[in-house]
Chains A and B, each alone.
Chain A
Amino acid sequence: MAIIKTDNLTFEYIRRDEEGNVEGITTAVDNVSFEIKRGEFVAILGHNGSGKSTLAKHLNAILFPTEGTVFVDGKDTSEDANLWDVRETVGMVFQNPDNQIIGQVVEEDVGFGPENLGVPTAEIWERMEESLKAVGMYEFRKKSPNRLSGGQKQRVSIAGVLAMHPQCIVLDEPTAMLDPIGRKEVIRAVRALNDVEKITAILITHYMDEIVHADKVIVMDKGKIAMAGTPREIFSQVDKLKSLSLDVPQVTMCAHKLREAGLNIPEGILTNDEFVKALQQCQ
């Protein structure tokens, strides 16, 4: 059974002027259906305003569909009775770590989630320890979060979600505010959770190089799914991605241009290693 399934999901919001009169309706997510299997690593791409964050907020019942249905672990998110189950199943990490950390000390922050779930104290400590270890932040457990770097704070945010033992974690541009090292740390932590702990990961990002390891990529445009496939299938279509305001990694772009210049090199090169191999065959 799919951990997440959306069935003709549509989300509209009504724009009103200052007097509260209806000005119009914006369809942020338009008739979207997809399935995410347990343990998958899925990346969602799309330009600003394409509907990807709105979509993500449906996955742990922050928003509810105007039409259609979202099933999390088989449960309809619109039903009140399922609300807590849905939120326990899917955890969410946002862009700005400073908006997500509330504790004075790292370990206190991570313990906040399980405490709210009513987990017994001894187990909270266990969960705090394993979560911080999973993201490589255990040695910082006694520190104040505001003395950490952006990448470290973001990993604490992820640990806070992990401590609630979700089966799926949704990350909405978790690296947008980070420097190159911070970005690497966060992506490495997410990949480790997916590989080792088998937690389903859904990553929304504008950085094309972060998604080459994903199992599946979904590209959103105007609230609809514009493209879906493996990273290789998606990155083989450079011109289409450009028309959707997106980009490809520099190595993919270089291979694409060499191909246009007449070199016999496959489309959809994702990594430097593949690129080197492809060029060796051209020699």
Chain B
Amino acid sequence: MSIIVNHLTYRYNPGTAMESTALDDINLKIEDGEFIGLIGHTGSGKSTLVQQLNGILKPTSGGVYVDGADIGDDGYDLKKLRGEVGLVFQYPEHQLFETDVFKDVCFGPKNLGLTQKETELRAYEALKQVGIADEYFYQSPFDLSGGQKRRVAIAGVLAMKPKVLILDEPTAGLDPKGRDELLDKLTSIRQDTGCTIILVSHSMEDVARYADRIVVMHKGRIAFDDTPMEVFKHRDELKEMGLGVPGITETMYKLKDAGFPVSTDIITVDTAVTEIMKVLGR
């Protein structure tokens, strides 16, 4: 499912004294099966942008085209769109509400109008995808750990079989292992289902490791849109935007400053190790 964002501008409170431009002439083409990291400091427009992609907010001008159709047209089936473009909000576990885990995950597919059997099959599959064991299915979601709750909430969106899965800071508050597990799960879900993943993140390390394309938002505009390797070459600009480069990239810059002839096009620890060994002639 291709998504094209065409000259999209969005203003909050247009025509009032409180008017502010959250998105300013955004152009973006998202292809099938991409893993996109969306970064930008607080207030840069990331969350406003993802809310445009499934029609929660309507553009002030310009538009969003999904498979060639303008989602802002009268009569466009937004309900269907929201099943296809799944949005996992920040702290999604706050939205759990059912009496047991299984019922909670069934809520989404049931609302899509699926039969009971299909709904339950999907819920089962989604819970398996996020790695929740059968023994938890009939427990209250509120008795689970933070990481488990987070995964149940994500399963609730996965059960709608979205073609595009958007996650707004899904790892906030998780411990390092929980964070790695969740991001690994997303990678395997994408491999198995071919869905597109858009990961909104504050962690340069995470997007460097997992995404194959990074979109950087700054003051409502797209500042960079390229592979992680290319984006993180803009170290100084990224710092000015309140972002930065992965810790290991910064380390490589420090080595270079100290006279080591190392490349600074390094965004993961493993490539850094290889590069340093090479430069030291080992």
Contact B277 A258 (CB under 8 A): yes
Q: Is the CB of B242 within 8 A of A179?
A: yes
Q: Which of A213-264 contact B (CB under 8 A)?
A: 242, 245-247, 249-251, 253-254, 257-258, 261-263
Is the CB–CB distance between A275 and B175 below 8 Å? no
Shortest Cβ gap from B135 to chain A (Å): 15
Provide the bound-state CA to CA distance between A33 and B264, in Å: 46
- Is B194 at the interface (CB under 8 A from chain A)? no
Q: A14 interface residue, CB < 8 Å from B? A: no
When distances are taken between beta carbons in the complex, the residues of chain A under 8 Å from B146 are 48-49
Contact mask for chain A residues 251-283; partner B; CB cutoff 8 A; 1 contact, 0 none = 101100110011100000000110110011011
CB atoms of B258 and A253 under 8 A apart? no
**B177–A262 contact, CB under 8 A?**
no
Residues on A with C-beta less than 8 A from B250 are 272
Residue of B nearest to A182 (CB): B42
- Kindly state whether residue A7 has any CB partner on chain B within 8 Å: no
Whether A118 is near chain B, meaning CB under 8 Å from some CB there, is no
Instruction: Determine whether the beta carbon of A261 is less than 8 Å from that of B176.
Output: no
Say yes or no for A181: interface residue by CB 8 A criterion.
Answer: yes
A258 to B282, CA, bound (A): 11
CB-based contact B42/A179 at 8 Å: yes
Are the CB atoms of B254 and A48 closer together than 8 Å? Answer: no
State whether B254 touches A272 (Cβ < 8 A): yes
User: In the bound complex, do residue A261 and residue B272 qualify as a contact, i.e. CB atoms below 8 Å apart?
Assistant: no
* B174 proximal to A (CB < 8 A): yes
A249 and B178 contact, Cβ closer than 8 Å, known pairs A180-B204, A262-B282: no
- Please tell me if the beta carbons of B251 and A47 are within 8 angstroms of each other in the complex: no
> In the complex the two chains form, is B204's CB within 8 Å of A209's CB?
no
Contact A48 B175 (CB under 8 A): yes
- Interface set, chain B 164-201, CB cutoff 8 A to A: 172-179
B174 to chain A: which residues have CB within 8 Å?
48, 206
Given known contacts A176-B172, A282-B280, is B178 in contact with A254 (CB within 8 Å)?
no
Contact B276 A258 (CB under 8 A): yes
A26, chain B: closest CB distance, angstroms:
11
Contacts of B258 in A (CB 8 A): 276, 280
Any chain A CB within 8 A of the CB of B229?
no
Is A95 in the interface zone, CB < 8 Å from B? yes
Which A-chain residue is minimally distant from B259 (CB atoms)?
Answer: A280
Task: Assess A263 versus B282: contact at CB under 8 Å? Given A48-B175, A178-B202, A254-B272.
Answer: yes
Q: Which residues of B contact A102 (CB under 8 A)?
A: none
Asked if B173 contacts A206 (CB within 8 A), the reply is: yes
Contact A250 B247 (CB under 8 A): yes
CB nearest neighbor in A for B274 = A261
Kindly identify, within residues 62 to 104 of chain A, every residue whose CB is under 8 Å from any CB belonging to chain B.
95
Measuring CB to CB, which residues of chain B are less than 8 angstroms from any residue of chain A?
Answer: 41-43, 90, 143, 145-147, 172-179, 202, 204-205, 242-244, 246-248, 250-251, 254-255, 258, 260, 269-270, 272-273, 276-277, 280, 282
**Which 10 residue pairs are nearest across A and B when measured between Cβ atoms?**
A245-B177, A247-B176, A250-B247, A181-B242, A47-B175, A250-B248, A272-B254, A48-B146, A176-B173, A257-B273
What are 14 A-B contacts defined by CB distance under 8 Å?
A: A15-B143, A177-B173, A179-B242, A206-B174, A245-B175, A250-B205, A250-B246, A250-B251, A250-B269, A253-B269, A261-B273, A261-B277, A275-B255, A279-B260
Query: Contacts A178-B202, A206-B179, A280-B258 given; 8 further ones with Cβ under 8 A?
Result: A15-B143, A48-B147, A48-B174, A48-B175, A245-B176, A246-B175, A272-B254, A276-B255
